[in-house]
Amino acid sequence: MSTVETSRSGSVAVVRFGEPPVNSLGLATRQALAAAISAAIADPGVSAIVLAGRNGTFSAGADIKEFATGGMITAPNLHDVIALVAGSPKPIVAAIEGTCLGGGLELALGAHYRVAVATAKVGLPEVKLGLLPGAGGTQRLPRLIGVENALNVILSGEPVPAKLFAGSALFDALVNEDPAGAATTLAAAKAGELAGKAPPRARDRSAAGPLVEPLLGFARTTAGAAYAAYPAPLKIIDALEAAATQSFEDGLATERQLFAELMVTPVSRALRHAFFAERAASKIPDVPESTPVRPIASAAIIGAGTMGTGIAINFLNAGIPVFLLEVGKEALDKGVARIADTYAGQVKKGRLKPADAEARGKLLTPTLSYDDIGGADIVIEAVFEDMAIKEKVFTTLDAVMKPGAILASNTSTLDLDRIAAVTKRPGDVVGTHFFSPANIMKLLEVVRGKATAPDVLATTMKLARTLKKTAVVSGVCDGFIGNRMLEQYLRQALFLVDEGADPAAIDAACEKFGFAMGPFRVSDLAGNDIGWHIRKRRALEHPDVVYSKIADKLCELGRFGQKTGGGWYDYKPGDRNAYPSKVVADLIAAHRQAIGVTPRKVSSREIVDRLVFALVNEGAHILAEGIAQRASDIDIVYLTGYGFPVFRGGPMCYADEIGLYAVALRMRELARNPYGDPGFWTPAPLIERLAASGGSFNSAGARP
């Protein structure tokens, strides 16, 4: 609920505004703020005004939720409030603490003076939403700190400590505490000094300078190349140019026009979707945020392989002691060495202080005995992907772990409910599906078993935040959300090779679409043997599923990817580039001949449609089955774990943007292709239903 309160300190009116949790400037706040400022201006007993946020923070800016409804333009809009502040005949001082971002900073820039806590975070992060500061930020900030500094602040979007601007006209005073108190003192002094004269305004300063044009020219070239898919950076440069070359009023009009143009771009819609999707992912409808959590002060990891060691590093980085358990000394030593190497590498690159690396290393206790780990608050199993081995490990964990310990599995495909069933405490069992490299990748799929207790889920979600992961809840199924969808994507990628598209052409089309890497480069990086192993198991479980055999043939040659010096591409030692492989070209040609396919030219559009719509169709099944809680969770899985282009908002957002009617139509078109799995392109019933009703995945009611 929005509240604005005015108090008096002598002749200074202190106006405090707030809308928890971040004091965004929605309509109710704007209305109350405008009324309070107008009242203070009109009050003959008031000589100056202090503008401060409630709850220890100034403001996170415009209420982003209003962007979708158009509520942001309803009067008084942010421009109206800022104009009221800037035009006040009595001096207004902004008192800044906590965060002061976007429209919040623009409001402060409208004030005549600013006092900030030195550590307050200030910035204009609109670019991260595909926008530019649209309430005067591009016009006032360069007038206060110069065009070059303003360019850095606005293009990066990064919040920085106020003290970085010490000595600039942005802040009149930096304090360690009580900014409202310091602002009140300043306000009273300025009222006396001005003695009724108009207070100074940012708009009256100039941003012009001889170096501005070459600077902006250079910025245009760089931004055009670095952010080709993003329209905001170039428009930000245009707006800054207007600040330096046009009158304030004209510059403001230019900014407004550019802001309006950006607001309707699919890129901005996608980035705003991603902002809310990331925050929604942490919420579980039937597990309220008030659910008590279990303390996690120590952890044990079973298996010191690729994943076990990466997972251990996450805990060590968070200051949580870790027991690392292996079956044999050799494997244990190798795992410990891998962790030490990772830290040594970070120290060498200057990313970690040697003392911190040492302190983290000391939190690690390698062991070969289950006797050591029983007291840990959570144990994460990361042994071979083999149900019999996992069942054995969990039987032992059930016997040795203390009551209340969380028993987690890092399995990527196996049935968590089966694993839980071998214990006498299935409620304590949860899946924690980290992604490789586990110490780097942001995504964590938290797998909710049939019996997983609510407090175990709540604790795991909180732990994810401690480990700096983005957690998404998934139900139990083969591959969970991400890998289950990926299977369909990879099946299409391999069918495309069969039909005539070369791996390099498929990768290039995907990368042009915006994927960080195409499917073949990713497979070479992750290891082609992983998929081979999974395909062999699935072929036994689902013998009816149609697959291209080309990837199996590649693996039969031992071409597992970068680690073996060759996969879909050739690799040279010490060189990360992928080179075309004659062996693979010959293998593919022979394979096409063996299956009787005459290769055809496949367009980039077909490649992208088939790969992305394969994800979308499986995503729709996953949503309908309740494996994912909401469509936006699927988007977050793909944005944070699979390199899906952020500017497209994730596969479900992308499909919504195209329109599900058009998506279903295209799938039916693709179904006419006689090659591959004949049932593949049957649109999921959820797509058909939403297409018929004009609905979308991410709108309310997308779930059956």
- Are the CB atoms for 223 and 155 separated by under 8 Å? yes
Interface with ligand 3HC includes 135 (CB under 6 A)? yes
Q: Considering the complex, what minimum distance in angstroms separates the CB of residue 325 from ligand NAI? A: 6
Helix (H, G, I), strand (E, B) or coil at 91: coil
* Rounded Cα distance, 688 and 684, in Å: 7
Q: Is 126 one of the catalytic residues?
A: yes
Q: Considering the complex, what minimum distance in angstroms separates the CB of residue 326 from ligand NAI? A: 5
- Are the CB atoms for 557 and 543 separated by under 8 Å? no
Starting from the edge strand earliest in sequence, which strands make up the sheet with 160-161, in order?
99-101, 121-123, 160-161
162 binds, among ligand 3HC, ligand NAI, none (CB under 5 to 8 A by kind): none
Query: Of residues 52, 100, 237, 393, which one binds ligand NAI by CB under 6 A?
Result: 393
Helix (H, G, I), strand (E, B) or coil at 41: helix
Residues 97-109 as b/e (b if ≥16 CB within 10 A, e otherwise) read bbbbbbbbbbbbb
Q: Considering the complex, what minimum distance in angstroms separates the CB of residue 24 from ligand 3HC? A: 4
Residues 6 or more apart in contact with residue 312 via CB below 8 angstroms: 299, 301, 304, 322, 324, 335, 339, 364
Helix axes 631-641, 651-658, angle to 10 degrees: 120
H or E segment to which residue 123 belongs = strand 121-123
Query: Of residues 32, 60, 429, 584, which one binds ligand 3HC by CB under 6 A?
Result: 60
331 binds, among ligand 3HC, ligand NAI, none (CB under 5 to 8 A by kind): ligand NAI
Q: Considering the complex, what minimum distance in angstroms separates the CB of residue 155 from ligand 3HC? A: 14
Size of the site for ligand NAI (CB under 6 A): 24
Size of the site for ligand 3HC (CB under 6 A): 24
Interface with ligand 3HC includes 24 (CB under 6 A)? yes
Q: Considering the complex, what minimum distance in angstroms separates the CB of residue 385 from ligand NAI? A: 3
DSSP state of 284: B
Interface with ligand 3HC includes 142 (CB under 6 A)? no
Strand-pair category, 443-447 with 322-325 = unpaired
Among 365, 250, 357, 243, CA closest to 298: 365
* Rounded Cα distance, 432 and 335, in Å: 20
Interface with ligand 3HC includes 663 (CB under 6 A)? no
Half-sphere exposure of 295 (CA within 13 A, CB side): 4
Closest CB to ligand 3HC among residues 131, 313: 131
Range in contact with ligand NAI (rule: CB under 6 A) among 97-105, 287-295, 404-412, 687-695: 404-412
Q: Considering the complex, what minimum distance in angstroms separates the CB of residue 329 from ligand NAI? A: 11
Closest CB to ligand 3HC among residues 103, 567: 103
Range in contact with ligand NAI (rule: CB under 6 A) among 167-175, 298-306, 592-600, 631-639: 298-306
Query: Of residues 21, 45, 214, 292, which one binds ligand 3HC by CB under 6 A?
Result: 21
Range in contact with ligand NAI (rule: CB under 6 A) among 285-293, 296-304, 617-625, 662-670: 296-304
Instruction: Give the dihedral of Cα atoms 663, 665, 670, 671; nearest 10 deg.
Output: 120
Interface with ligand 3HC includes 78 (CB under 6 A)? yes
Interface with ligand 3HC includes 64 (CB under 6 A)? yes
Residues in the chain: 704
- Burial tier of 261 (Cβ tally within 10 Å: 0-12, 13-18, 19+): middle
| Both tokens assigned to 385 | 């992907």
22 binds, among ligand NAI, ligand 3HC, none (CB under 5 to 8 A by kind): ligand 3HC
Query: Of residues 5, 8, 65, 168, which one binds ligand 3HC by CB under 6 A?
Result: 65
Q: How many helices (H) and strands (E) does the chain have?
A: 28, 19
Tell me, what amino acid is at 416? L
Q: Is 106 one of the catalytic residues?
A: yes
Exactly one of 19, 66, 97, 106 is catalytic; which is it? 106
Tokens 């998506």 — which residue? 663
314 binds, among ligand NAI, ligand 3HC, none (CB under 5 to 8 A by kind): none
Per-residue binder mask for ligand NAI (CB under 6 A), 408-437, x = binder: --xxx---------------------xxx-
Exactly one of 19, 66, 97, 126 is catalytic; which is it? 126
302 binds, among ligand NAI, ligand 3HC, none (CB under 5 to 8 A by kind): ligand NAI
Tell me, what amino acid is at 252? L
Q: Considering the complex, what minimum distance in angstroms separates the CB of residue 82 from ligand 3HC? A: 10
Among 110, 246, 226, 80, CA closest to 170: 110
Interface with ligand 3HC includes 130 (CB under 6 A)? no
DSSP state of 323: E
Kindly report the number of other CB atoms within 10 A of residue 39's CB atom. Answer: 13
Helix axes 78-86, 103-110, angle to 10 degrees: 20
Interface with ligand NAI includes 306 (CB under 6 A)? yes
Among 469, 463, 464, 306, CA closest to 383: 306
| Both tokens assigned to 638 | 């793909």
* Rounded Cα distance, 474 and 432, in Å: 10
Q: Considering the complex, what minimum distance in angstroms separates the CB of residue 434 from ligand NAI? A: 6
Among 53, 187, 206, CA closest to 140: 206
Range in contact with ligand NAI (rule: CB under 6 A) among 27-35, 138-146, 383-391, 470-478: 383-391
129 binds, among ligand NAI, ligand 3HC, none (CB under 5 to 8 A by kind): ligand 3HC
274 binds, among ligand NAI, ligand 3HC, none (CB under 5 to 8 A by kind): none
* Rounded Cα distance, 521 and 235, in Å: 34
Query: Of residues 305, 374, 500, 643, which one binds ligand NAI by CB under 6 A?
Result: 305
Cα 368 versus chain centre, distance: 38
Query: Of residues 207, 216, 382, 506, which one binds ligand NAI by CB under 6 A?
Result: 382
What are phi and psi for residue 81, nearest 5 degrees? Answer: -65, -45
User: C-alpha distances in angstroms, 88 versus 81, 107, 340?
Assistant: 11, 13, 61
Query: Of residues 125, 251, 310, 449, which one binds ligand 3HC by CB under 6 A?
Result: 125
Site for ligand 3HC in 273-312 (CB under 6 A): 276, 279
254 binds, among ligand NAI, ligand 3HC, none (CB under 5 to 8 A by kind): none
Q: Footprint of ligand 3HC on this chain (CB under 6 A)? A: 21-22, 24, 60-65, 78, 99, 101-103, 106, 125-126, 129, 133-135, 137, 276, 279
Catalytic residues: 106, 126
* Binding-site ranges for ligand NAI (CB under 6 A): 302-308, 325-327, 331, 382-385, 389, 393, 410-412, 434-436, 526
